Chains A and B, each alone.
Chain A
């Protein structure tokens, strides 16, 4: 798998997602459960805003001194007998890993979940070289057995599949003859994978954080597969994005606390492990340890206006609150990194040519920014992407014409006023009961999925109402000695309105008619 998981048009991908009723149900309930768990965990911890600021400060300090910490980490790994390889490109990274595997004459590779190994297309390269590559994370293993179906969530990769589908995959590929209870399916996978762990010659893991002053990597899991992957095979290769590093165990601890709570609402996951090359006298753990540090476009991100995106600790909290992700699902993003963070980093890693639509897959509600444990301004970065896409002239012709027209209209008060005057009659044919229900081709896409109120008649418009109120204040109603018009306004406005209960939803029509009455009566 590569960064790109689906080469079809964005519209086709989203239509697929929206049409998949089971997937949408699964994503919706997973989001509800994960976001509640995150909120509960954050609330129970208390002082969450300070925790976030601390996480942000640690990430920013590390990024600002990234060359220093990477060098310190590499020195320490090598001092302990490990090897560190710095890969500028995905090709360099995968080729190095393949070379290590081949130098051991190894055929059997077991992996634990790692997004960056997907990004560098490592599985593909190793399989071409004749290796068996086994994903050991339960979710990833299910996807692998289903002919490498792409992951749809950073933390729960097989979220889009139900238990019956999983049972069928196991039955057809692995001769599983049990039922579809998750417990049985998991036990079955355990027994198959236990053998794979024991016979593997190479173990490959990702890296949540490298610890610079220790020369070790940190893995955060619940299943324990990462630990077995690193403990049993004689060679361990860890792959990390170059930004995933902390100065010491003390900062690692803070970030792991933020990560576990934000990802799954746990205080700490079952297994948090710090591991490096085997020390003298220890009998298991790798005899050979390789750490591959991957740039693959990250230094360009570091240099530019999106640097804060590199603060990401891959918790997936932004996916769990995103209304767009909820409806289109992970696959529609066409990237191994879906959701809001995916919409920010995928175009940076893969370019606007393939991913210029992703920054628009957002309502800009900002829920992602609010939950991010390291305070990445996600929705602001999506706006920044949109600005770049527009200024590079990458939007479609229809968009450009509409925007040009809107620009003309909004920058000329005269044209704006006359358009407002005509808006009601111009939209008459398109509207029904005060709502615009159909429109010409250029705005069909907008109207098709939204309820848009029809512009009101000129006499009912805010401007007319405001002017009439100004001129029509009955002198008698003015409080004695009232000097300023502001204090008077509030008092007089109230009796005009039919007893509106506070907080009651008011329809556009009702509101419009009230405004009309208020203005007309006075």
Chain B
């Protein structure tokens, strides 16, 4: 085996991706020539994914979300735009205080929120600084793009003002969910994102579906909450 690896030794810069021969071989394995016409997805035989929880009212969906969060070690706090600042300040204090890092989401300004001394993820700060601040942060604050009631999930897209590591490096994770953004399940959120993509929109390079804090059961199947990502997660409903 080593000999076949060393035969490749000298080809350090590969320009060829093997794409054509590879795909022609795949088509041959399927017993036909390459597919060149556009393939349309068939009508799927079932609509179970669309039907699940589809009949729930917005109020019922809030209840579904709250109940699910009991199972995923995630605290849910009900607040209002008026008292949101106080709610978040209390939560931060409960986590042991700062440093705080937040996304640059315009909704922070829209709701008149300010976190003196906190850091805001931004394009201007650059890779090193953003990551360094996220790693040093005790609390991360973000706004959800969608929330999925069934699974207790927040969906967030990466943007210049909202990086990937923001969701993973800080010890505590707080996501604000506007009630209007709660949908029944992953079906609606992924359907919406796919429609936006097909309409020609460029999506962020990273779409995160986050359901509570990080965890692992790799040691004797015993659940440990808080492994590589956040140790605790909190959702604030407004």
Bound-state Cα–Cα, A283 to B228, Å: 21
- Report A-chain residues with C-beta under 8 Å of the C-beta of B219: 138-139, 142, 158, 163, 166, 182, 185-186
Is B78 located at the chain interface by the 8 A CB criterion?
no
Bound-state Cα–Cα, A70 to B20, Å: 11
Query: From B196, which residue of chain A is reached at the shortest CB distance?
Result: A249
B30–A303 CB distance below 8 A: yes
A253–B41 CB distance below 8 A: no
Is A146 located at the chain interface by the 8 A CB criterion?
no
- Report B-chain residues with C-beta under 8 Å of the C-beta of A364: none
Partner of A50, one of B8, B17, B46, B216: B46
Is B127 located at the chain interface by the 8 A CB criterion?
yes
Partner of A253, one of B25, B190, B214, B220: B190
B221–A30 CB distance below 8 A: yes
- Report B-chain residues with C-beta under 8 Å of the C-beta of A295: 22, 25-26
Bound-state Cα–Cα, A79 to B80, Å: 43
Contact with B along A478-516 (1 / 0, CB 8 A): 000000000000000000000000000000000000000
Bound-state Cα–Cα, A118 to B229, Å: 25
Give how many B residues have a beta carbon under 8 Å from the other chain's beta carbons. Answer: 96
- Tell me how far the C-beta of B116 lies from the nearest C-beta in chain A, rounded to whole angstroms: 23
Q: Are A267 and B150 CB-contacts (below 8 A) given A54-B46, A67-B30, A103-B12?
A: yes
Partner of B229, one of A158, A182, A270: A270
Bound-state Cα–Cα, A71 to B123, Å: 33
Query: From B220, which residue of chain A is reached at the shortest CB distance?
Result: A163
Bound-state Cα–Cα, A94 to B1, Å: 12
B220–A299 CB distance below 8 A: no
- Tell me how far the C-beta of B79 lies from the nearest C-beta in chain A, rounded to whole angstroms: 24
A88–B22 CB distance below 8 A: yes
Bound-state Cα–Cα, A166 to B224, Å: 15
B218–A276 CB distance below 8 A: no
- Tell me how far the C-beta of B151 lies from the nearest C-beta in chain A, rounded to whole angstroms: 4
Q: Are A284 and B1 CB-contacts (below 8 A) given A50-B46, A249-B190?
A: no
Partner of A156, one of B48, B221, B224: B221
B45–A53 CB distance below 8 A: yes
- Report B-chain residues with C-beta under 8 Å of the C-beta of A91: 1, 4-5, 8
- Report B-chain residues with C-beta under 8 Å of the C-beta of A456: none
- Report A-chain residues with C-beta under 8 Å of the C-beta of B209: 268, 271-273
Is A350 located at the chain interface by the 8 A CB criterion?
no
Bound-state Cα–Cα, A284 to B204, Å: 12
A156–B218 CB distance below 8 A: yes
- Report B-chain residues with C-beta under 8 Å of the C-beta of A323: none
Bound-state Cα–Cα, A198 to B159, Å: 21
Is A277 located at the chain interface by the 8 A CB criterion?
yes
Chief secondary structure at chain A's binding surface: helix
Contact with A along B144-180 (1 / 0, CB 8 A): 0000101111000011100111011100000000000
Query: From B198, which residue of chain A is reached at the shortest CB distance?
Result: A213
Bound-state Cα–Cα, A294 to B209, Å: 27
Chain A interface: which size bin?
Answer: 35 or more
- Report B-chain residues with C-beta under 8 Å of the C-beta of A74: 17, 19
Q: Are A138 and B216 CB-contacts (below 8 A) given A29-B221, A121-B1?
A: yes
Looking at B167, B189, B205, the one whose CB has the most chain A CB atoms below 10 A away is: B205
Bound-state Cα–Cα, A189 to B226, Å: 11
Is B93 located at the chain interface by the 8 A CB criterion?
no
Is B110 located at the chain interface by the 8 A CB criterion?
no
B39–A274 CB distance below 8 A: no
- Report B-chain residues with C-beta under 8 Å of the C-beta of A436: none
The contact sample of 26 A-B pairs, CB cut-off 8 A, is A51-B49, A54-B49, A57-B44, A65-B39, A69-B39, A91-B4, A103-B13, A121-B1, A128-B2, A158-B218, A162-B220, A185-B219, A186-B227, A193-B228, A198-B135, A223-B228, A227-B229, A249-B194, A250-B187, A253-B187, A273-B209, A277-B205, A279-B158, A285-B163, A299-B29, A303-B31
B residues near A (Cβ < 8 Å) are: 1-2, 4-5, 8, 11-14, 17-19, 21-31, 34-35, 39, 41-42, 44-46, 48-49, 51-52, 68, 72, 121-123, 125-127, 130-131, 135, 148, 150-153, 158-160, 163-165, 167-169, 186-187, 189-191, 193-194, 197-198, 202-222, 224, 226-230
A residues near B (Cβ < 8 Å) are: 26, 29-30, 33-34, 45-47, 50-51, 53-54, 57-58, 61, 64-71, 74, 80, 83-88, 91-92, 94-96, 98-99, 102-103, 121, 125, 128, 136-139, 142, 156-159, 162-163, 166, 182-183, 185-187, 189-190, 193-194, 197-198, 213-214, 216, 222-225, 227-228, 230-232, 242, 247-254, 256-257, 264, 266-279, 281-285, 293, 295, 299-300, 302-303
